[in-house]
Amino acid sequence: MKYRLFVLIVIAFLVAQVIPGSPNVVTAASVKAFPGAVGYGTDTPGGRGGRVIYVTNLNDSGSGSLREALTATGARTVVFKVSGTITLSGDIQVNNPYLTVAGQTAPGEGVQIRGAQIKITTHDIIIRYLKVRSGDESSGSNPADRDAVTLNSDTNVYNIVVDHSTMTWGPDVGGITFLNGARDATVSYSIIGEGLYISRHPEGVLAQTGHSLAMNITELSSSQHPTRITSHHNLITTSSDRNPRIIGGEFIDFVNNVVYNWRDSASQGNPRSVNLINNYYVKGPMTTKSGSLYAWTPKVESGGSLRSGSVYESGNVVDGFTTVRGAPTSVYASSRFSAYSMTGEDTARAAYDKVVADAGANRQVGGANGSFVTRRDSADTRTINNLLNRTGTFYNGVSFGGVGGFPAISWPTLASGTPATDADNDGMADAWEVTYFGNTSRGSSANSSSDLDADGYTDLEEYLNGTNQADGTTLPQPTATTKPPTAVPTATNTSVPPTVAPTKTQVPPTAGPTSTLVPPTVAPTATQVPPTVAPTITTEPTAPPTVDPTPGPGAAAYSYLPVADAMVSNENPGKNYGSTEFLTVDDSPTKQTFLKFEVTGLGGYKVTSAILRIYCTKGSAEGGRLKLAASSNWKENEITWKNRPDVVGDVAGKLGAVQTGKWYEINVTPLISADGTYTFRLHSNIGDNAEYASKEGQAGFAPQLVITTDDND
């Protein structure tokens, strides 16, 4: 009898391995949707082990379209051979379960959807690295009911994960909605909001002060309510209201999000139970309405009453205002609700840094070696820009530009690209397969269940997730290629200053591992030239100084981004390089870098420390030598070799060997004593050029000047 039972188990296992259309039985609940996934519903297999469907065109429907792929039946993974804009004439209804959408496979700057939304009415769905910017065009679906993504009101909607996506510009709800019986779902590391203010939505009119909503977790009737929903590490931005609204939801975990630039209210509602933990709330230029300066505002729908003890609030940070909890106090619970989906949350400040570095549809896999590159298109870059610089306004629909003083949305033209060669259409780049398998025979378009290391993640998933197919380990992080903010935040000296400094972890654990199969070209070596003013050289970024929540009198820390940075070259003495994404120092040909900082707010107190931080994008045997410039009377878009300022004094600091992908610090304390404008020059004495990220380079990696003061000295 035992032998027969064993045989039956083996047969069942083999059948599940070879029959596409059902999830692989080795992917038990212990195997997450992707490595590092956290939150309710992240045990879903999605389309694991099923067939592979390529999106080969940008058509609204038909063969090779996204609609055809998303509405197909059976377990399936959707990958892309095209990039650009897909304009829909109606919503895409995802009615069939076991689906993975791998937006990271789209070449160029990826795929964006306009004209309608994605409606999910089934279970076990994973969507990653997709952009849904629905807009309010009349040719699409009904604007009164058009969000970006909706988990529709059905008890059959569960095990849904939306990760690293962009969901904006919906005329009803700008981003994502969880309705009625939707349960066990997570949205993470996404950009959500910019709900349209004036639009074709019937309430999007000036007479009703616009619409502009970001995110809904809501029951529409008392018979069903959303349950076990997780929102973590998202940027919820520039929407008047519902950031999010939680009405009736039970066991909602709203953790480690950044909420920015609302008008009517930030997070609000009347849940059954919500854990509101370690979020970062930032007042923006639209946050002007009286009574809106609370992180959480208790609010009931008509005819309802507030539930007591329904909100557990802890560790939330407010920036630009002072009060976390809106009245009445009876709604707040004294302990966390025990049904909790997060396995160790970040502090609010750490979450802010991770969101800045990694939120949105910002990554692509598909290089010849299966490597990842980081990408943010112009719209997402602007959104992150606005947060960092405390800027940004509401947006109107396509035909309402200027109404109420707000601009109309404009979809970016996404850069095209060449997809990775995949002759057998198994979803994996041929070159990647040859590198790790020796041939391309392990997968097929009909069955993606092969799993070399038997860890529960298929070979295809290892490729999509950037993990090692031999042992499941995370491969190194990618080289960043996105652009940072171009405006400059001023110095901060508030009880909780915004962290504009970059941090080490560009790809947080829940992002899923990323891959670059080529190691750094310059190995780390000891500093070869001792500095004059001993610089602190770090191979890891250190946390930027911040004002203590209860600082001593006058004690403060300030973070500054450059107001201008540029390199100059004697090879092209009349050429301006102010818009380049990198800063170079070299001796052959001679290239020098100039960095200008405006230091304000020191209040006459003694400077106890001043540190210049720069991020290396190309290593060298010498990182450069720093001198103070005699003048700061230069402009980023005008400086050349011919008109560059002179320098004064001795070398103030030197960097020896520097390594790609590392942070370096130079102590410039002797050069800064008070408020003023300071320019530093970096040059090299060897012909092995080093490069650093400029403020036009990747978001979060611009140079930074960090100053601390103490009035007691």
pLDDT digits (tens, 9 = 90+) for 553-566: 444 677 889 999 99
Tokens representing 290 are 């009286």
Residue 389 near residue 485, CB atoms below 8 Å? yes
Question: Rounded to the nearest 5°, which phi and psi values hold at 485?
Answer: -65, 145
Contact residues for 310 (Cβ-Cβ < 8 A; gap 6+): 270, 271, 272, 273, 274, 331, 333
Measured CA to CA, the distance from residue 644 to residue 654 in angstroms comes to 21
Q: How far is CA 441 from CA 147, 257, 433, 437, 617, in A?
A: 42, 43, 8, 8, 37
Cβ atoms of 244 and 267 within 8 Å: the answer is yes
Distance CA 17, CA 34 (A): 19
Residue 514: per-residue pLDDT: 32
Distance (Å, rounded) from C-alpha 126 to C-alpha 100? Answer: 5
Domains of the chain: 51-365 (2.160.20.10), 555-710 (2.60.120)
Structure tokens at 46: 């999605």
Ranges of residues in the chain whose predicted pLDDT is under 70: 1-29, 154, 367-369, 468-556, 698-699, 711-713
Q: Measured between alpha carbons, how far is 40 from 342 in angstroms, rounded to an integer?
A: 8
Tally of CB atoms within 10 A around 56: 16
Residues β-bridged to residue 629: 647
pLDDT of amino acid 556: 64
Q: What is the pLDDT of residue 488?
A: 30
pLDDT at 405: 92
Helix (H, G, I), strand (E, B) or coil at 496: coil
Contact 276, 247 (CB under 8 A): no
Q: Which residue has the tokens 């059902």?
A: 22
User: Looking at this protein, which amino acid is placed at residue 172?
Assistant: D
Helix (H, G, I), strand (E, B) or coil at 574: coil
Whole-number Å distance between alpha carbons of 270 and 582: 49
Residue count (the chain): 713
Q: Round to whole Å and give the CA distance between 214 and 241.
A: 7
pLDDT of res. 649: 81
Closest CA to 320 of 266, 283, 351: 283
Backbone angles phi, psi at 688, to 5 degrees: -125, 90
What 3 state SS string does 446-493 have? CCCCCCCCCCCCCHHHHHHHCECCCCCCECCCCCECCCCCCCCCCCCC
Rg of the chain over CA atoms, in angstroms? 26
DSSP H or E segment with residue 153: none
Beta-bridge partner residues of 131: 112, 166
- pLDDT of 223: 85
DSSP string, 307-341: PTT-EEEES-EEESS---BPSPGGGB-SS--S---
CA-to-CA distance for 599 and 614, rounded, in angstroms? 17
The DSSP code for 306 is P
Question: Minimal CA–CA distance to 546: which of 707, 700, 358?
Answer: 707
238 vs 380: CA distance, rounded Å: 13
The residue among 634, 496, 480, 475 whose CA lies nearest residue 559 is: 496
